[in-house]
């Protein structure tokens, strides 16, 4: 059996992270950063010396050449901490220059490596091939040499006289560079071209890590200020107009970090197309995220943030000076599209040892394969045509067949029809439902209700309900929302009153999707109107075939049926109660954590991208195939990137839950990102392929049209994005509570 998914850093990497965190906190304080800008064009010579003492300049150099052969993942950990404290040294350029010099057998190479390693000399790299005039190079104003590609020859270009530093949005000793005098030939031919371009890809990864650290620190500063500053008699962090944009930024920055880590697994497992496209997609995304993050963070400080005395402006300026050294990030998205869909090759860096693993274990793959084989045997053409993104696609025959095979709820105990599979294996099997695709809604709600029964139900209730759920003979629905309540589920007005040994329920629920199929509904009721709303609720599992229950259909423009359910003097026994009387908060919190544990709409996004690229291969734009238009490729590649980021955030949610690690609203964060980008991506691809995209259908562009209508509701399901943003702000940033 191979190892489970592992998204954590190994102990030695965590130790390295701690070391660099403490180093940069001390040696790259805001005072150091300001001094470097004022006196040395943004280059901190003392910090460079300190880094040299720790062996940093040669960390990516083989041991045989005097280095420590640091893996690329650990190098990004270094860069994240450097970015967090705005280290005033072009560290990424220095690491890459030294590693390219170490590839050479030139007699001068060892002397240069020794001088760089001691901190006596500094070398940078020109990120574009030379020969078309001067180009900006970070650190060129202080560099003793610059590594540059000229045709098929890679040179080390010593600088006898250093060019004048440019005044920038944030100084980093950048200057116009052109080779001068004699040059040292490092490599030539195909090896030189490959080494140089792989180094540029590595620079993107290192610099992306720096932007992640920079952005995260800007958010920390903004959150701390928002938790202290008052206005209009309140702490400003309670204002959703401030806290919600910060929460969105947290989600984006976390998404960038998880995407970065996913790229390492693609590099390690030899997936050159996805890894090559992913690097450029990450570079586009992290620049967008950093720009947005520093802008919102500065905005929290109001006018003070504009003042030179406040540190946040340093982050606002540095984000752009770092992010634009390679040109317009949108060009990276175009290149990603060419790499994905036109086969444009990418020269990729060697990541070294990578312990991260997003891939499911052998057990998980086996369960997924069995689930797929079962579906292949079950799903006739008629059933495949019946499949739908709503409860409308439910089929009792499929439900019972999957239940009989133990594949309906594989994580459940065997006594209730499950396989006792791991959370990872169950997630891998559930992905198969999405990719077949087969209707998942009844399975999802019934699984949630079943788990709540297992955790809070009486033995009598378990015996009555769980075997039938596990066999696929019945389903369950959720009765949370009320006509006047919306997402405020604790404001329930549906009453449950004691009646001897039982209860009488009166009230109404809205959007009880799947009630027309279900035998039971998980109902939130108010059992003590005199207590605060969070303390006076109790949850019940209410049989829907009882006297006094009415189910009225509501049809939506998404081709979906939901329901309004009415409860008039509905009598139920006490064993249908879940948890303690007036203890609904505990039960509902568990239910919401399951429901808000992330979503899988990234499958829809990936499917939309596939349909869009198929359209682009046959459509014409400006007299040529649409697929040859870089802007078309970029827009499809954006949807592909968002799907990958959403999948990575969802994987983190599952991994954290499986390891029982502290949960900082990772599920809500994943849902925010996936559903919000599902809306924007479906709208954008509708625009891209218009007017043909307006036609309904179950194939081709019809998938995008259906997704556009479907996506609108996804930010409402399982709690609106607004509620989830408040959760992310509070649990991830420590902001004060922003809702009653």
User: Which pLDDT band, with edges at 50, 70 and 90, does 98 fall under?
Assistant: very high
pLDDT tens by residue, 315-333: 999 999 999 999 999 999 9
What lies within 8 Å, CB to CB, of 111 at 6+ separation is none
CA distance 20 to 78: 6
Tokens of 667: 């599920």
Is the predicted pLDDT of residue 637 greater than 70, yes or no?
yes
pLDDT of residue 593: 73
* C-alpha dihedral sign at 423, 425, 430, 431: positive
pLDDT tens by residue, 248-302: 999 999 999 999 999 999 999 889 999 999 999 999 999 999 999 999 999 999 9
User: Which pLDDT band, with edges at 50, 70 and 90, does 596 fall under?
Assistant: low
Angle at 360 between CA 357 and CA 364, to 5 degrees: 160
pLDDT tens by residue, 460-485: 999 999 999 999 999 999 998 888 76
User: Which pLDDT band, with edges at 50, 70 and 90, does 5 fall under?
Assistant: confident
Contact 683, 708 (CB under 8 A): yes
What 3-state DSSP class applies to 492?
Answer: coil
pLDDT of residue 291: 98
pLDDT of residue 460: 97
Find, among 288, 314, 319, the residue nearest to 301 by Cα: 314
Question: Residues of the chain with pLDDT > 70: what percent?
Answer: 98
pLDDT tens by residue, 383-393: 999 999 889 99
Is the predicted pLDDT of residue 12 greater than 60, yes or no?
yes
pLDDT tens by residue, 526-575: 999 989 878 899 999 999 999 999 999 999 998 899 999 999 999 999 99
Instruction: Report the mean per-residue pLDDT for the chain.
Output: 94
Is the predicted pLDDT of residue 739 greater than 80, yes or no?
no
Tokens of 234: 């309140």
Find, among 703, 651, 653, 652, the residue nearest to 678 by Cα: 703
CA distance 518 to 516: 6
Predicted TM-score of the model (pTM):
0.94
What 3-state DSSP class applies to 21?
Answer: helix
pLDDT tens by residue, 402-412: 999 999 999 99
pLDDT tens by residue, 175-219: 999 998 899 999 999 999 999 999 999 999 999 999 999 999 999
Is the predicted pLDDT of residue 10 greater than 70, yes or no?
yes
Contact 67, 118 (CB under 8 A): no
Q: Taking each helix axis from N to C terminus, what angle separates 630-658 and 329-341, rounded to the nearest 10 degrees?
A: 90
pLDDT of residue 483: 87
Phi-psi region of 542 (alpha: psi -120 to 50; beta: other; left: phi over 0): beta
Contact 224, 254 (CB under 8 A): no
pLDDT of residue 100: 98
Instruction: Tell me whether strands 476-479 and 495-499 are parallel, antiparallel or unpaired.
Output: unpaired
pLDDT tens by residue, 172-182: 999 999 998 89
pLDDT of residue 740: 46
pLDDT of residue 484: 76
pLDDT of residue 1: 34
Contact 118, 144 (CB under 8 A): no
pLDDT of residue 39: 81
pLDDT of residue 303: 94
Among 21-25, 584-588, 699-703, the least confident range = 584-588
Question: DSSP strand E in 318-409: where?
Answer: none
Question: Residues of the chain with pLDDT > 90: what percent?
Answer: 86
Q: How distant is the alpha carbon of residue 147 from its chain centre?
A: 35
Is the predicted pLDDT of residue 2 greater than 50, yes or no?
no
pLDDT of residue 487: 61
Question: DSSP strand E in 9-104: where?
Answer: none
CA distance 666 to 733: 12
pLDDT of residue 486: 64
């Amino acid at each position: 059996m191979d190892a489970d998914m592992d998204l954590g850093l190994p102990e030695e990497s965590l130790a390295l992270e701690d070391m660099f965190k403490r180093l940069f906190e001390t040696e790259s304080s805001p005072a150091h950063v300001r001094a470097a800008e004022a006196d040395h064009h943004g280059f901190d010579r003392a910090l460079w010396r300190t880094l040299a003492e720790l062996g940093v300049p040669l960390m990516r150099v083989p041991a045989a050449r005097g280095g420590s052969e640091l893996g690329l993942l650990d190098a990004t950990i270094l860069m994240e901490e450097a970015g967090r404290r705005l280290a005033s040294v072009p560290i990424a350029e220095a690491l890459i220059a030294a590693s390219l010099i170490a590839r050479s057998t030139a007699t001068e190479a060892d002397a240069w490596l020794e001088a760089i390693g001691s901190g006596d000399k500094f070398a940078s790299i020109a990120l574009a091939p030379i020969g078309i005039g001067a180009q900006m190079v970070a650190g060129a104003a202080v560099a003793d040499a610059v590594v540059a590609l000229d045709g098929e020859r890679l040179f080390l270009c010593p600088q006898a006289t250093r060019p004048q530093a440019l005044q920038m949005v944030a100084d980093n000793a950048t200057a116009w560079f052109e080779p001068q005098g004699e040059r040292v030939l490092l490599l030539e031919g195909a090896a030189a071209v490959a080494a140089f371009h792989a180094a540029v890809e590595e620079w993107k990864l290192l610099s992306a890590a720096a932007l992640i650290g920079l952005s995260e620190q800007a958010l920390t500063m903004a959150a701390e200020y928002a938790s202290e500053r008052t206005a209009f008699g309140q702490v400003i962090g309670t204002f959703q107009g401030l806290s919600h944009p910060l929460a969105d930024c947290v989600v984006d920055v976390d998404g960038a970090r998880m995407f970065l880590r996913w790229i390492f697994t693609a590099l390690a497992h030899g997936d050159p197309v996805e890894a090559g496209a992913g690097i450029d997609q990450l570079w586009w995304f992290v620049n967008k995220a950093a720009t947005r993050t520093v802008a919102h963070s500065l905005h929290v400080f109001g006018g003070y943030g504009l003042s030179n005395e406040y540190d946040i402006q340093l982050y606002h300026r540095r984000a752009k000076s770092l992010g634009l050294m390679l040109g317009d990030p949108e060009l990276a998205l175009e290149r990603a599209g060419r790499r994905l869909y036109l086969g444009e090759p990418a020269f990729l860096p060697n990541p070294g040892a990578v312990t991260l693993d997003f891939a499911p274990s052998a057990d998980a793959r086996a369960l997924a394969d069995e689930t797929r084989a079962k579906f292949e045997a079950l799903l006739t053409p008629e059933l495949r045509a019946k499949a739908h993104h709503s409860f409308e696609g439910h089929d009792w025959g499929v439900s019972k067949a999957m239940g009989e095979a133990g594949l309906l709820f594989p994580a459940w105990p065997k006594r209730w029809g499950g396989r006792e599979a791991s959370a990872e294996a169950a997630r891998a099997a559930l992905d198969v439902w999405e990719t077949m695709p087969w209707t998942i809604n009844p399975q999802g709600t019934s699984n949630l209700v079943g788990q709540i029964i297992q955790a809070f139900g009486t033995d009598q209730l378990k015996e009555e309900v769980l075997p039938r759920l596990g066999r696929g003979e019945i389903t369950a629905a959720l009765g949370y929302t009320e006509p006047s309540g919306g997402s405020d589920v604790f404001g329930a007005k549906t009453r449950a009153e004691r009646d001897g040994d039982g209860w009488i329920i009166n009230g109404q629920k809205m959007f009880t999707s799947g009630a027309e199929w279900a035998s039971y509904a998980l109902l939130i009721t108010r059992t003590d109107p005199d207590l605060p709303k969070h303390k006076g609720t109790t949850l019940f599992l209410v049989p829907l075939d009882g006297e006094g229950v009415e189910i009225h259909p509501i049809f939506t423009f998404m081709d979906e049926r939901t329901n309004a359910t009415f409860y008039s003097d509905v009598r139920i026994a006490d064993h249908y109660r879940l948890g303690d009387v007036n203890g609904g908060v505990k039960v509902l919190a568990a239910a919401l954590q399951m429901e808000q544990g992330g979503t899988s709409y990234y499958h829809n996004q990936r499917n939309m991208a596939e349909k869009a690229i198929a359209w682009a291969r046959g459509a014409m734009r400006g007299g040529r195939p649409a697929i040859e238009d870089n802007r078309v490729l970029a827009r499809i590649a954006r949807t592909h990137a968002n799907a990958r980021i959403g999948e990575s955030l969802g994987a983190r949610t599952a991994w954290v839950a499986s390891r029982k690690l502290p949960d900082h609203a990772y599920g809500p964060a994943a849902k925010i990102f996936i559903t919000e980008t599902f809306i924007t991506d479906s709208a954008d691809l509708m625009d891209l392929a218009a007017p043909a995209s307006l036609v309904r259908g179950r194939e081709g562009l019809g998938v995008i049209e259906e997704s556009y209508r479907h996506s609108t509701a996804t930010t409402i399901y399982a709690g609106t994005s607004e509620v989830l943003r408040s959760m992310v702000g509070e649990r991830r940033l420590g902001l004060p509570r922003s809702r009653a």
